[in-house]
């Protein structure tokens, strides 16, 4: 992978990181600023359900932040775009689709197949 491609991925990852942090900040602000009172328990339950869904999304994004930081470190140390399983190059198309990936498509497919087999063994046992 050449320097311009690495720079493109670095910018993409940094922008996504900033976007996630901004969303998290708005979520916290919206939840702490809200002084809504609901006399109807159904309305209150609906609000709580929406907040729980939003918090689950933010939790997934928190995990993604860690993966983004790891990808940025791999860019810095020169290992970005190298499959952690086989050591081969990860296709640019795969990195465009999932810039935080650490495995080429073949190794990821093999890993997922093994996970499916493990689940089947567990269900059968």
Q: Where are the domains positioned within the chain?
A: 1-80, 83-125
Pick one of 1.20.120.910, 3.90.950.20, 2.30.40.10, 3.20.20.70 as the CATH number of 1-80: 1.20.120.910
Nearest to 114 by CA among 79, 87, 85: 85
Q: If you count them, how many residues does the chain have?
A: 125
Banded pLDDT at 75 (limits 50, 70, 90): very high
- Is residue 93 within 8 A of residue 71, CB to CB? The reply is no
CA gyration radius for the chain? 20
58 and 19 in contact (C-beta within 8 Å)?
no
- For residue 62, give the nearest of 94, 108, 25 by alpha carbon: 25
- State pLDDT tens for residues 78-90: 999 999 999 999 9
Rounded to two decimals, the pTM is: 0.79
Structure tokens at 108: 């990821």
Burial label for 95, CB within 10 Å (0-12, 13-18, 19+), is buried
């Amino acid at each position: 992978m050449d320097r311009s491609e690495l720079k493109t991925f670095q910018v993409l990852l940094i922008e996504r990181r900033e976007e996630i942090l901004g969303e998290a900040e708005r979520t916290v602000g919206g939840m702490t600023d809200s002084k809504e009172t609901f006399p109807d328990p159904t309305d209150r339950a609906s609000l709580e359900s929406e907040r729980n869904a939003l918090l689950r999304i933010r939790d997934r994004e928190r995990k993604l932040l860690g993966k983004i930081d790891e990808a940025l470190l791999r860019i810095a140390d020169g290992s970005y775009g190298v499959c952690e399983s086989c050591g081969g190059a990860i296709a640019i198309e795969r990195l465009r689709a999932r810039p935080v990936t650490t495995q080429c498509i073949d190794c990821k497919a093999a890993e997922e197949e093994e996970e499916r087999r493990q689940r089947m063994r567990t269900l059968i046992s």
